A = this chain, B = another copy of it.
Amino acid sequence: MVRQVRAVRTRRALVRAAAEVFAEDGYALASLPVISRRAGVSTGALHFHFPSKDLLAREVEAAATAAVQRLVVREGAGGVAGGGGLQLLVDVSGDLVAAWAVDPVLRAGFELGGDPSRKSVQGPGRWWSEWVYALLCEAQGAGELARGVSPEAAAVAVVASVAGFGRLACGHRVRSSPRLVEEFWALLLPGLVAPSRRLPVLPGPRAAGTDRTPR
C-alpha cells in the first residue's frame, strides 16, 4: 500500500517536472536526466514509469486534458445562471486562463500540441477546440447566437484568444489577465449573442464584484 502511494507520487512528480522542462526547452531538447533530477527521482525510476519521452509527453497531455474536463464539469455542475450554454463557455474560459497561470501540466499539455518537434494531435487543445465548437453549435440551435454568426469562426476566435490570454497569464502580467478575459467577452458578446438573450450572459461570475460599467 505504502509502495503504491509512493509510485503515484513519483509518477505525479515526473509528469510535473516533464511539463516544466517541455515548456522551457521544447519537446525535442527536453532531456530525460534533467526531468528525473528535477522530479527528485533516479533515471531508473523514470524509465520504469515511462519507458520513452513520448509516453511521458502523452501522460502530460492526458493529465492536461483531464484538468480541462474537470473545469467544464465543475462549472457545468454549478448550474447555469440563466445565460444558457454561452454562460458556461464564458465561465470555463475564465477558469482555463486562471489555471494556465498556475498549472504547468495544463500549460505544457496545450503547448505540446503546437510544438513542431512533437506533432501531437491528441492533447487538450483538440478536446477543448471540439468542446467549444460543439457548445457554439448547440447555442446556435437553442437560438442563443445572433443571426448569421458562424460557430466555426467564433470557435477559432475563442480558442485562439483564450490561449493568448493564457500565455499572458503565465508571463509578467499575471494579475491583469483575468480582467483581460472579462474585457474580451465584453468585446465579443455584443456580436455573438442574440439580442433577446443578451442580458443574462456576463463575463464570468467575477464580473459582479468589479467596477466595470456594463455596455
Residues of A within 8 A of B (CB): 22-29, 111, 114-118, 146-150, 152-154, 156-157, 159-161, 163-165, 168, 176, 180-181, 183-184, 186-192, 212-213, 215
Q: What is the distance, in angstroms, from A212's C-beta to the closest C-beta of chain B?
A: 7
**Cα distance A27–B215 when bound, in Å?**
45
- Give the residues in chain B near A154, CB-CB below 8 Å: 183-184, 187
- Give the residues in chain B near A117, CB-CB below 8 Å: 25-26, 28-29, 117
Q: What is the distance, in angstroms, from A195's C-beta to the closest C-beta of chain B?
A: 10
> Per DSSP, are chain A's interface residues mostly helix, strand or loop, or mixed?
helix
Q: What is the distance, in angstroms, from A127's C-beta to the closest C-beta of chain B?
A: 16
Q: What is the distance, in angstroms, from A56's C-beta to the closest C-beta of chain B?
A: 16
- Contact B215 A147, beta carbon cutoff 8 Å: yes
Residue of B nearest to A24 (CB): B116
Seed contacts A160-B165, A189-B191; 5 additional CB < 8 Å A-B pairs: A25-B117, A147-B215, A150-B183, A159-B164, A186-B191
**Cα distance A167–B147 when bound, in Å?**
27
Instruction: Please list the 4 inter-chain residue pairs (A to B) with the smallest Cβ-Cβ separation, ordered nearest first.
Output: A160-B164, A26-B117, A153-B183, A26-B116
10 A-B pairs whose Cβ atoms sit less than 8 Å apart in the complex: A22-B116, A26-B115, A114-B114, A153-B181, A156-B161, A157-B184, A157-B187, A157-B188, A160-B161, A189-B191
- Contact B23 A116, beta carbon cutoff 8 Å: yes
Q: What is the distance, in angstroms, from A208's C-beta to the closest C-beta of chain B?
A: 17
Task: Name the contact of A180 in the complex, choosing from B118, B149, B152 (C-beta under 8 A).
Answer: B152
- Give the residues in chain B near A159, CB-CB below 8 Å: 164
- Contact A180 B156, beta carbon cutoff 8 Å: yes
**Cα distance A28–B30 when bound, in Å?**
10
Task: Name the contact of A156 in the complex, choosing from B114, B118, B164, B213 (C-beta under 8 A).
Answer: B164
- Contact A187 B192, beta carbon cutoff 8 Å: yes
Q: What is the distance, in angstroms, from A19's C-beta to the closest C-beta of chain B?
A: 12
- Give the residues in chain B near A24, CB-CB below 8 Å: 116
